[in-house]
């Protein structure tokens, strides 16, 4: 039997994120989720966007098992079996015609090189001439933290791994442009997070 972990942060932010996704995504989108973690987000989003199809992924085998256990228990038919995916291992072994890619709380808790890898993969796996990449998490703006809590969070991240850290929004936008993307949406979210959408 698979032991299921529950992320308190995912429970808190799933509804505000879902509200944004309902505005940004076509109701019948095919969506690739990167770093799906426990699977709490994908279950919530798939239930609300019943006409969409979701492909969850993660690089961790234990998380993949959790996602599939939650998917089976939910009875939802618009979530595909979870697939292993590490953004650094390219090309990704998933389809190349998604309408959207969603990546929540990854780029600050992984080395910087995952950010250009994410955009490079998105450029290949979104539909030609269409599709959006949606990112969520804390960001610096103009090189500065937007709240003391984000600065404290970064200290905690770097105590885990010095390669981790709250990224500068402008640096992420430079990488986006290098891969043919431009920021199309910015929403200020609870707990000093941003939800960003990039399109080509």
pLDDT tens digits, 6-65: 889 899 999 999 999 999 999 999 999 999 999 999 999 999 999 999 999 999 999 999
Partners of 103 in the beta sheet? Answer: 34, 135
- Residue 170 CA to residue 83 CA, distance in Å, equals 31
Mean pLDDT (whole number) for 74-96: 96
Q: What dihedral angle (degrees, nearest 10) is formed by the CA atoms of 86, 177, 158, 85?
A: -10
Q: Per-residue pLDDT averaged across 82-103, rounded?
A: 96
- What's the chain's average pLDDT? 96
Query: What is the per-residue pLDDT across 109-120, written as a single tens digit (0 to 9) for each?
Result: 999 999 999 999
User: What 8-state DSSP symbol labels residue 143?
Assistant: T
Is the model's pLDDT at 5 over the cut of 90? no
Looking at residue 126, the DSSP 8-state letter turns out to be: B
- Give the distance between the most distant pair of CA atoms in the chain: 47
Higher pLDDT, 132 or 1: 132
Number of Cβ within 10 Å of residue 10's Cβ equals 19
In the chain, % of residues over pLDDT 90: 93
Whole-number pLDDT of residue 114: 98
Superfamily grouping for domain 8-199: Vaccinia Virus protein VP39 (3.40.50.150)
Q: Tell me the average pLDDT across 146-175.
A: 97
Q: Is the pLDDT of residue 1 over 80?
A: no
pLDDT at residue 100 in the model: 98
What's this model's pTM, rounded to 2 decimal places?
0.96
**Ordered DSSP codes for 147-171:** SHHHHHHHHHHHHH-TT--PEEHHH
At 178-197, the pLDDT tens digits run: 999 999 999 999 999 999 99
* CB contact at 8 A, 89 and 78: no
**Residues 123, 154: Cα–Cα separation, whole Å:** 29
Domain boundaries, the chain: 8-199
CA distances from 145 to 38, 62, 167, 168 (A): 28, 33, 9, 9
What's residue 129's pLDDT? 73
Q: Has residue 128 got a pLDDT over 90?
A: no
Could you tell me the pLDDT band of residue 142, with boundaries at 50, 70 and 90? very high
DSSP designation for 99: S
């Amino acid at each position: 039997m698979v032991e299921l972990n529950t992320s308190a942060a995912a429970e808190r932010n799933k509804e505000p994120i879902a509200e944004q996704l309902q505005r940004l995504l076509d109701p019948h989108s095919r969506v690739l989720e990167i770093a799906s973690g426990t699977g709490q987000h994908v279950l919530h989003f798939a239930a609300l966007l019943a006409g969409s199809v979701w492909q969850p992924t993660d690089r961790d085998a234990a998380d993949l098992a959790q996602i599939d256990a939650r998917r089976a228990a939910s009875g939802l038919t618009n979530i595909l079996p979870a697939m292993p995916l590490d953004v650094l291992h390219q090309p990704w072994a998933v389809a190349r015609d998604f309408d959207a890619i969603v990546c929540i709380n990854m780029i600050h808790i992984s080395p910087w090189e995952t950010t250009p890898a994410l955009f490079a993969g998105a450029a290949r796996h979104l539909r030609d001439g269409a599709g959006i990449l949606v990112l969520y998490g804390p960001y610096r703006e103009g090189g500065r933290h937007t709240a003391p809590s984000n600065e404290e969070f970064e200290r905690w991240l770097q105590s885990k791994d010095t390669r981790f850290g709250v990224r500068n929004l402008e640096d992420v936008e430079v990488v986006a442009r290098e891969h043919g993307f431009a920021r199309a949406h910015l929403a200020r979210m609870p707990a000093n997070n941003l939800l960003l959408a990039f399109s080509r």
